[in-house]
Amino acid sequence: MRQLELFKATLYRMYKSTGVRIAVLLTYIAAICYYVLATMVANGKMGVDVAGSITGLGDAMIIWLFGSLIVGILVGGDFESKTIHGTIGHGRKNVVINYVMVYMVMMAVLLLPYLVGSVALIIAEVDMTGAESTAVSIFLDNVLKFGDGASIGKLVISYISYVIVVMGQLGILIIVAMKIRKAMAVTCVGFIFGMFTALIASLASKVEMLDNIYKLTPYNYGISRLGIEANISDMCVGIVVSLIFMAVCGGIGWIVFRKADIK
Amino acid sequence: MGEKLVELKNVTKKYKNTVAVNEVSLTLEKGKIYGLVGKNGAGKTTIMRMIMGLSIPTSGAVNVSVNGMGTLIEAPALNEGMSASENIRFYSMLSKNSLSANSQAKASNAGKTPYTADQLLKIVGLENTGKKKVKDFSLGMRQRLGIAIALVDKPDFVMLDEPINGLDPIGVVEIRKLIKESNEKENITFLISSHNLPELYNTATEFIIIDNGKMKKQISAEQLENEKNENLEEYFLSVIKEV
């Protein structure tokens, strides 16, 4: 019960936060613009040469920017405003579990417009051929590859696995936030880390041990493993790996926090 | 001896090479108003932070056994983007059976009816703030709201760290009255810190005097009345100078 009270109170704090409202609003605007512009590319109303700019509005980039901001407000904001003084009475372990739970909800809220846009385009049977270069994640890729014989169940699993993998990828920010406890610093670290995630794979591939570790993280799961044409087993493994990764991040966050002094 | 709410046993807190609290042992009993008095840097806030669970003792034990704890440590912990009533709502959501991180769970909160947000705001004189956001509050208003939040859910035990900082003289009188009334009517136990003994003289029923992290004296209001000479400040100085 105490965990639920903490969860509801934190959701209320996030709901009332101006920073969170701006982040969610801008994400929703970016998602609308992304799909509108991608459709215009598919229709030939815009040239493929602008695809690079359009991908900047895709979830792959936006989630790292505004997801980092949300984690910063969720954890760093709690310390900066000292509202942690009100939550610490619920126990430090419960505080960290609560951060992870609210984080997952907030990531789902941020990804929702991209998911809705993707489903809407599939239902409306919009032909997105020609807009392949704007597909930065499974959301648009599934629209492009969802054919007549495709399974709805597989599509649902594809979406679920992708959302959980993204949560896993940003889960590392929980540790960063528990350590530095400053909203703006977490946002900066998260956004920079997000830009380098693509490099992590190539760097890891050069060292066998790092490559083996990398394969056990959510960063190893992209369109080829989670899209509609991937194996369901890959999607399920992606879900399990990401959930374990988030639990590990929460665990490390707790280790960082459990004996730390709170100002 | 009354019911023990808080017990510190040989508690020491070190920050790198500084000893903030040195082998302090004390017991806080239900129904009293404790004044924690010491100079700036004496260790008052560190003791409160350890009771609250914000800080972990380097050695010794802190045992807390309360049904709810309200706190105002250093600055009020407020959501800047919320109004006063929204802040109270946030803390009301949190405070149901909220205990200190050090505490052991007890039976549910003895049938006390929590204050409503309107009642609390009226008690601390913020009933006319409406939708005004906390970020636009003055220092005194923030302090009043911090005290209101500490009283959400009528906890067993309330810790206030220099609560009258930033308050005007009328506010000081009102807060003193609120503390006494909450103690008498709701049986709320208070631990109030101050660097000024006279400031707590008319409010506290027990005084704990600390200096340089060490506890120098614990004395009841009656004993203080008998032991003090004309000047309370001189008495305080004489206590902290005792070896």
Sole residue written with tokens 């709201």: B145
- The confidence score (pLDDT) of residue B107 equals 35
Residues B12, B22: contact at Cβ < 8 Å?
Answer: yes
Query: Which pLDDT tens digits describe chain B residue by residue (243 residues)?
Result: 689 999 999 999 999 889 999 999 999 999 999 999 999 999 999 999 999 999 999 999 999 999 889 999 988 999 999 999 999 999 988 865 444 444 443 334 556 777 888 989 998 999 999 999 999 999 889 999 999 999 988 899 999 999 988 888 888 998 899 999 999 999 999 999 998 888 888 899 999 999 999 999 899 988 888 887 768 888 888 888 776
Give the residues across from A97 on adjacent strands. none
pLDDT for residue A162 is more than 90: yes
Whether B14 contacts chain A with CB within 8 A: no
For B75-86, how does the pLDDT look when each residue is reduced to its tens digit (9 = 90+)? 899 999 999 999
pLDDT for residue A249 is more than 50: yes
Judge residue B30's burial from the number of C-beta atoms within 10 Å of its C-beta, 0-12 exposed, 13-18 middle, 19 or more buried: middle
CB pairs under 8 A between A and B: 84
Whether B67 contacts chain A with CB within 8 A: no
Give the residues across from B194 on adjacent strands. B37
Residue A258 neighbours by CB under 8 Å, 6+ apart: A92, A93
For A94-148, how does the pLDDT look when each residue is reduced to its tens digit (9 = 90+)? 999 999 999 999 999 999 999 999 999 999 999 999 999 999 999 999 999 998 7
Cα A170 to Cα B192: distance, rounded to the nearest angstrom: 43
- Selecting from A2, A81, A86 the residue whose C-beta is nearest the C-beta of B80 gives A81
For B121-177, how does the pLDDT look when each residue is reduced to its tens digit (9 = 90+)? 998 999 999 999 999 999 889 999 999 999 988 899 999 999 988 888 888 998 899
By DSSP bridging, strand B33-37 and strand B59-64 are unpaired
**Helix (H, G, I), strand (E, B), or coil: what is residue B54?**
coil
Residues A229, A152: contact at Cβ < 8 Å?
Answer: no
- The confidence score (pLDDT) of residue B136 equals 95
Give the mean pLDDT of A167-172: 96
Domain of residue B139: give its range. Answer: 4-241
- The confidence score (pLDDT) of residue A1 equals 67
For A34-68, how does the pLDDT look when each residue is reduced to its tens digit (9 = 90+)? 999 999 999 999 998 898 899 999 999 999 999 99
Both tokens of residue A141?
């890729």
Helix locations, chain A, DSSP H: 2-16, 18-42, 51-55, 59-71, 77-80, 84-87, 92-123, 138-145, 152-170, 172-180, 183-205, 208-214, 223-226, 232-257
Query: Best residue in B16, B71, B93, B136 to probe A by mutation, most A CBs within 10 Å?
Result: B93
Both tokens of residue B243?
């070896």
Interface touch B69/A89, C-beta < 8 Å = yes
Both tokens of residue B16?
């790198």
- CATH number of domain containing B233: 3.40.50.300
Cα A49 to Cα A40: distance, rounded to the nearest angstrom: 12
Whether B136 contacts chain A with CB within 8 A: no
pLDDT > 70 fraction of chain A, expressed in percent and rounded:
100
Give the residues across from B70 on adjacent strands. B158
- Domain ranges for chain A: 2-257
Q: Is the ipTM of this complex over 0.90?
A: no
- The confidence score (pLDDT) of residue A185 equals 96
The residue with greater pLDDT, B17 or A242, is A242
Exposure string (b/e) for A47-84, b if CB count within 10 Å is 16 or more? Answer: eeeebeebbebbbbbbbbbbbbbbbbbbbbbbbbbbbb
Integer CA distances (angstroms), B191 to A68, B27, B36, B113, B147, in order: 39, 11, 7, 22, 13
Cα A40 to Cα A131: distance, rounded to the nearest angstrom: 8
Interface touch B82/A16, C-beta < 8 Å = yes
Positive or negative, the CA dihedral B193, B197, B202, B204 is positive
- The confidence score (pLDDT) of residue B193 equals 95
Cα A255 to Cα B7: distance, rounded to the nearest angstrom: 27
Interface touch A2/B90, C-beta < 8 Å = no
- The confidence score (pLDDT) of residue A197 equals 84
Residue numbers in B near A74 (CB within 8 A): none
Interface of B with A in 44-63 (CB under 8 A): 49, 52-56
